[in-house]
Structure 1
């Protein structure tokens, strides 16, 4: 599923986790767990549901659920409106879970960075790595 405009760039991050897909799915879809590793939110795993992600930095991302395949794939828009339209971001984030012998491989893909959005692109590359570190911490303590 690629809803990005032409000539856009994407960030792809993969990580192997020692837990089954259902455990990762809970962390990707339950608001209190999403808050623990990503941001405050009013998420619901329902296609068409509009929600916000609220960062500690004061920013708000406007999102809409696009795809829900339990324990397999989750996708939503990830839009940020800036006072300077050159910094507006219209993107789509897709989480893909693949069972492995040792647990689950999680792929996160964020598509839709315009070529001139070097700062946002670099921020997403570093940000997703940090978010997945936090997700690992949350999963380590979650039953």
Structure 2
């Protein structure tokens, strides 16, 4: 399923969210909302679109790979030393949505990046939940 070389690891964060997939999709794909929970960006939900996420510590070069509205979104996530892919999967569950984020591509010699992503994505998810709680 993933094209990453052998010996890579992935970070997975999953949450049950009390919102419909359409609402979460907007928070994942609208630049002004992405800026509220992740980073400043010039994202567009268009396959092959190149975009940049920028923060105080630097930036991430990205390219959209998969867009299935309200279901799946994936994009490359490349920093100076890390080439990885982020995949968001939205699965309707009762009155809410199961949201899964997987970042694949951490080499075994990239333990600090792996640990950083493990901590960082939990913070991003918390911020995403804040945005969802007040977005209409």
TM-score greater than 0.5 by the shorter chain: yes
Partner of 1:85: none
Aligned to 1:17: 17
* Correspondences of 1:73-92 after superposition (within 5 Å): 73-81=72-80, 88-92=81-85
2:54 paired with 1:54: yes
Look up the SS of the partner of 1:68 in the other structure.
Answer: strand
Specify every segment of 5 or more residues in structure 1 that has no aligned partner in the other structure, as ranges. Answer: 82-87
SS of the aligned residue for 1:121 comes to helix
Which of 93, 101, 107 is the equivalent residue of 1:108?
Answer: 101
- Alpha-carbon contact 1:9-1:114 (below 8 Å) kept: yes
Residue pair 1:27, 1:33 contacting (<8 A) in 2 also: yes
* Structure 2: unaligned runs, 5 residues or longer: none
Q: Which residue of 1 aligns with 2:134?
A: 141
Task: Give aligned pairs, total.
Answer: 136
Distance 2:27 2:4 in 1: 26
Question: Alpha carbon RMSD of aligned pairs, Å?
Answer: 0.8
- TM-score scaled to structure 2, two decimals? 0.98
Name 1:68's counterpart in structure 2. Answer: 67
